[in-house]
């Protein structure tokens, strides 16, 4: 009989992916969460993983062999208290993953404030396209794979490496457990204000991560003063730098650098230059400078483990994106409706800039829910309105738990308004748009089903 693990907080992207990997490893897997919702609940149900809605103590009877505790749970939770009182074996998700999946694998970890999901998805697809059958665990669902996690039979494992803490009993960043041989640090800004007091505290965790990368590995880095400070504290591994070069001159910052330049205003055509000077042209479905950076980082990591540049570019030309990362949901009534995760002002800014460049003619309407912990705490309040200036209209949603005045921050900017009712947002959008326009819904949550409700409304026309 296989070991039974029970996962508390199973519907998060990380824990849900871990559940899929555990099932593939032969474990009996059950789990629970509050307000179980797709797409993760759908993936879990398709894999016949038993789900419990809520955290009642009875779900731990009969006792599992191990309880894997998500980092959203803490003391006072009924299931956590029952687990501790019964003396059950328990661990964090990152530690379980390191022990049962990552050991003896060559781990390629993708870290940074922005672009982790996209870069990790691109990298996993390149390795799969090259016939390496990688495992992966990604905080989103790459369209090319249709799942967020896969065990894989090859030696390589791609993981989205988050700096958030591991569990209520393990305050180390999750990525400390992964011990990568290839590490991407795309960028580094202040985030996760609920657990980090300042950027220096985050840099300290990245310094600990860098200490774990072996000398035969590689650190692939973007351009950032914060990354400079992290590496200045010590680095024991070759560093490869990602950079952009102008139309006429390459601007490599190290002999190991991989660089790119745009061949189109929409950034859907790039020229990539490898460290040895080889160049290849990439034409693909994605847009935006941020995706150019992500693609170059993924290519650099693949080059490091021996995938030829031309194979990398061929793979990405067939890459179709990630769900909830500027994902086109459809064009109801001739209006393009996109879904985007957008958890930080920088992410909002780069996404809207990319969409504006790709669709320069029609109106661009952004619907934004500032839902991340850092946004809800007001840490980025002064950056929110400026981050959205590329849109013609910005409709901000103020959730009830937001304890600061969003309107006071954004309504002095032309075209930006605040709403507290989702239905009112939907009605306003339908009045603003016409065929040829674009709407991007930006939230890292379900947004009360706004995406589907808006598409349905646009398909039948604006209410009279």
pLDDT per residue as tens digits for the range 400-411:
777 778 878 887
What is the assigned CATH class of domain 327-460?
A: alpha beta
pLDDT (0 to 100) of residue 388: 86
pLDDT per residue as tens digits for the range 158-215:
999 999 999 999 999 999 999 999 999 998 987 777 788 899 999 999 999 999 999 9
Q: Name the fold adopted by 4-92.
A: Rossmann fold (3.40.50)
C-alpha–C-alpha distance, residues 425 and 373, integer Å: 22
pLDDT at 395 over 50: yes
Where residue 120 falls among pLDDT bands split at 50, 70, 90?
Answer: very high
pLDDT at 302 over 80: yes
C-alpha–C-alpha distance, residues 355 and 166, integer Å: 35
pLDDT at 430 over 50: yes
What is this structure's pTM?
Answer: 0.78
Residue in 96, 237, 119, 258 with CA at minimum distance from that of residue 180: 237
pLDDT per residue as tens digits for the range 255-284:
367 787 777 766 678 889 888 888 999 988
pLDDT (0 to 100) of residue 291: 85
Other beta carbons within 10 Å of 165? 21
CATH of 104-316, one of 3.40.1190.10, 3.40.50.10860, 3.30.70.20, 3.30.360.10: 3.40.1190.10
pLDDT at 251 over 50: no
Peptide bond into 458 cis (omega under 30): no
Where do the structural domains in the chain lie, given as residue ranges? 4-92, 104-316, 327-460
Where residue 464 falls among pLDDT bands split at 50, 70, 90?
Answer: very low
pLDDT per residue as tens digits for the range 24-69:
999 999 999 997 777 778 888 888 899 999 999 999 999 999 999 9
Residues 134, 238, 161, 104, CA torsion sign: positive
Where residue 375 falls among pLDDT bands split at 50, 70, 90?
Answer: low
pLDDT per residue as tens digits for the range 199-217:
999 999 999 999 999 999 9
pLDDT at 324 over 80: no
- Return the bridge partners of 185, or none: 111, 221
């Amino acid at each position: 009989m296989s070991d039974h693990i029970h996962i508390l907080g199973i519907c998060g992207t990380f824990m849900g992916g871990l559940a899929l990997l555990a099932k593939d490893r032969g474990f009996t897997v059950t789990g629970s969460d509050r307000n179980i919702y797709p797409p993760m609940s759908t993936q879990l149900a398709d894999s016949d993983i038993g789900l419990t809605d809520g955290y009642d103590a009875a779900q731990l009877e009969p006792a599992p062999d191990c309880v894997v505790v998500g980092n959203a749970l803490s003391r006072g939770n009924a299931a956590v208290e029952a687990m501790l009182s019964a003396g059950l074996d328990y661990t964090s998700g990152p530690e379980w993953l390191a022990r049962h999946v990552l050991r003896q694998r060559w781990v390629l970890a993708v870290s940074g404030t922005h672009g982790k999901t996209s870069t990790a998805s691109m990298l996993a697809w390149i390795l799969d396209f090259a016939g390496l059958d990688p495992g992966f665990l990604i905080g989103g669902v790459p369209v090319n794979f249709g799942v967020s996690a896969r065990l894989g039979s090859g030696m390589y494992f791609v993981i989205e490496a988050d700096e958030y803490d591991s569990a209520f009993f393990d305050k180390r960043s999750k990525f400390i457990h992964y011990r990568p041989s290839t590490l991407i640090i795309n960028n580094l800004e202040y985030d996760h204000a609920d657990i980090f007091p300042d950027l220096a505290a985050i840099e300290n965790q990245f310094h600990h991560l860098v200490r774990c990368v072996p000398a035969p590995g590689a650190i692939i880095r973007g351009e950032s003063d914060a990354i400079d400070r992290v590496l200045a504290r010590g680095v024991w591994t070759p560093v490869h730098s990602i950079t952009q070069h102008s139309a006429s001159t390459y601007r490599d910052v190290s002999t190991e650098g991989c660089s790119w330049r745009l061949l189109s205003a929409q950034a859907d055509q790039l020229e990539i230059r490898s460290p040895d000077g080889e160049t290849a042209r990439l034409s693909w479905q994605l847009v935006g400078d941020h995706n150019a950076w992500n693609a170059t980082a993924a290519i650099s990591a693949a080059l490091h483990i021996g995938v030829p540049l031309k194979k990398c570019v061929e793979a990405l030309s067939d890459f179709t994106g990630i769900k909830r990362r500027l994902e086109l949901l459809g064009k109801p009534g001739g209006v393009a409706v996109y879904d985007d995760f957008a958890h930080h002002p920088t992410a909002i800014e780069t996404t809207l800039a990319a969409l504006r460049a790709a669709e320069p003619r029609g109106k661009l309407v952004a619907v934004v829910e500032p839902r991340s912990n850092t946004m809800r705490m007001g840490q980025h309040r002064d950056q929110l309105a400026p981050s959205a200036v590329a849109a013609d209209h910005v409709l901000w949603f103020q959730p009830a738990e937001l304890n600061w005045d969003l309107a006071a921050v954004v309504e002095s900017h032309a075209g930006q308004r605040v709403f507290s009712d989702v239905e009112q947002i939907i009605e306003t959008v339908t009045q603003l748009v016409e065929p040829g326009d674009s709407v991007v819904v930006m939230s890292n949550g379900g947004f009360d089903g706004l995406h589907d409700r808006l598409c349905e409304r646009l398909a039948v026309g604006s209410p009279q």
